[in-house]
Amino acid sequence: MENLYGYTGVSNKGEVDLESGEVLFPGLSAGENQLRWGFIRKVYGILAAQIVLTTIVSFVTVLYTPINDLLRGNSGLLLFLLFLPFVLLWPLHVYQQKHPLNLVFLGLFTLSISTTVGVSCANTDGKIVLEALVLTSAVVSSLTGYTFWASKKGKDFSYLGPFLFTCLMILFVTGFMQLFFPLGPTSNAVIGGFGAVLFSGYIIYDTDNLIKRFTYDQYIWASVTLYLDILNLFLTILRMLRQSDG
């Protein structure tokens, strides 16, 4: 029998036939498995829309020179757009369960980040941007597939939370110090590699939360966390490739 998400439920023999024929993780009931798959599809649908919007804005920024010149020539506007996503995180978190305000704030949040990403891409050689995009896609696909496989095997990654947060604070403080005490190319390469590993770990951690811990009404916040993980990984790889090319 099909449920509202279009998945097949329990057969006459009592066997579960959902997606790949297995539950997401051991101990999950057939009914919960159906609901969880529907929730996951919804989150990835929103995430795909965010990535498409970021891609479109980046293409427009790169190809339409006046926009890029305006942003590069106006440091105040660029600084405003840089800090705007941090400001929008608060109403986005508060209204994440209130439709349609949650989608409005999500759109503004994604648009503001996409503009700064477009500026980074516009000031980078197209070949390097393409390489960073391919590498990011490969890493995200591999880590996502691994996390789903590991969850079915009963593995849990919740223990990564405190460790990843500590590493994120270290990366943030190091980046802030670089504003006053610039580091050499070797140190920058080490920091870039550290950041790539960190955001790869966050992809595993947040995907595991998506499978097991996010509640069904947290679809906006779940998509935001994964979007930031993927985007930060892309920007880190882009920065590393740009530095090596330079």
pLDDT for 74 equals 66
Other Cβ atoms less than 10 A from the Cβ of 126: the count is: 10
pLDDT for 246 equals 60
Q: Output the CA angle 100-103-107, nearest 5 degrees.
A: 140
Q: Where are the domains of the chain?
A: 30-245
Q: Give pairs for 151-156: CB < 8 Å, separation 24+.
A: 151/24, 151/25, 151/208, 151/211, 151/212, 152/22, 152/23, 152/24, 152/25, 152/26, 154/25, 154/26, 156/208, 156/212
pLDDT along the chain (246 residues), means of 10: 39 42 78 90 95 90 75 71 85 85 90 86 82 93 95 92 94 82 76 92 96 91 95 92 76
The model's pTM: 0.85
